[in-house]
Amino acid sequence: MPGPGPPDRKTEEMSTDAATHQDLLADVRDELAKVIVGHDAVVDGLLVALIVGGHALLEGVPGTAKTLTATTLAAALDLDVRRVQFTPDLMPSDLIGRVIYRQETGRFTFHEGPLFTNLLIGDEINRTPPKTQAALLEAMQERQVTVEGHSHRLPDPFLVIATQNPVEYEGTYPLPEAQIDRFLVKLSVGYPEPEQERAMLGRHDAGFDATDVSRAGVRAVADSAAIERARAAATAVRVDERIISYLVDLARATRSSPSVRLGISPRGLAMLLHTSKAWTLLHGGEFVTPDEVQAMCLPTWRHRLLLRPEVELEGATADNVLRNLLRATAVPR
């Protein structure tokens, strides 16, 4: 697909800004590489979520460095970070906070919970019951919580990075569909390649401690102002009308697929537009091409696609269906 015409002064300025933000994001990647071996797609997906200002869900079996990846990203950002271990006995008030009566003042005072932070790491979110999972709904969508009829704004930026084990594991609760939809991306964390595992073992043999990423020399290289500038730059990434039509064609293909019970919603369609623009910025581009759309389609849509039960019984997955739809949908030239 051809790009726009000859560059003008504004285009040259945008190119310079894109390079600046690409350097910043490369710095964040470099910091994560001090701890994380492999998982490049997961790291890039987290950076996309950071740029867009959405939430990320990391799914993988235990021991695949889901939490370590999230905590290392937190160490590379100059933001307020809190981590919550989701357990079966975790209550909504343990997240949001609670109203406490102060005898010395004769007043009820709201005490903020760990939700009041810039970056909340929710460890094993699907090990806590649905009632507590639902406590995140308002926070994730509206960046506020309501307690005793009073709304309390959350800090800006506010980002949730949650980890979960596959739902087949004992002691897990499937996340409500409404909450799953609040996650901008769902990133699959698999096993590393053999050479990556050898590198990982070499680090452990040299004394690496996964509970203390600061010893690996990870430093904060991006603050909230830098993140805000990157978001503005991503918004300015150009999208041709042919790409808009391509996005619509993909969404409509999910709705008409015989394998799909519930296709992509208009909100899901808008999210793919935003993640494609962020991916473009992340890789130094100035306008979205079909390659960026295809790169972000699975992370942005895999958790929003509901398959028919009989198709799932045959072993099909949302990823399989989306790959087939990508192959079958005409690509703009």
Mean local confidence (pLDDT), 210-238? 87
Domain shared by 279 and 208, yes or no? no
291 occurs within a structural domain:
yes
Domain shared by 231 and 241, yes or no? no
Number of helices followed by number of strands (H, E) in the chain: 14, 13
CATH number of the structural domain spanning residue 295: 1.10.8.80
Domain shared by 226 and 157, yes or no? yes
Return the exposure string of 1-31: e unless at least 16 CB atoms fall within 10 Å of the residue's CB, then b. eeeeeeeeeeeeebeebbeebbebbeebbeb
5 occurs within a structural domain:
no
Domain shared by 310 and 296, yes or no? yes
pLDDT band at 226 (very low <50, low <70, confident <90, very high): confident
Q: In what order do the strands lie in the sheet with 119-123?
A: 81-85, 119-123, 159-164, 55-59, 183-188
pLDDT band at 257 (very low <50, low <70, confident <90, very high): very high
Query: Residue 117: its pLDDT value, please?
Result: 93
Q: Extract the tokens encoding 210.
A: 């996964």
Domain shared by 242 and 229, yes or no? no
Which residue segment(s) compose the domain that 139 sits in? 16-236
pLDDT band at 9 (very low <50, low <70, confident <90, very high): very low
Query: Residue 162: its pLDDT value, please?
Result: 93
The residue among 236, 259, 293 that closes a domain is 236
Domain shared by 272 and 215, yes or no? no
Mean local confidence (pLDDT), 12-25? 60
CB 137, CB 178: distance < 8 Å? yes
Domain shared by 59 and 108, yes or no? yes
The CA-to-CA distance between both ends of the chain, in Å, stands at 4
pLDDT band at 169 (very low <50, low <70, confident <90, very high): low
Record the pTM.
0.87
Check pLDDT > 90 for residue 4: no
* Strand positions, DSSP E, 33-158: 55-59, 77-78, 81-85, 97-102, 107-112, 119-123, 144-147, 150-153
The residue among 210, 236, 262 that closes a domain is 236
7 occurs within a structural domain:
no
45 occurs within a structural domain:
yes
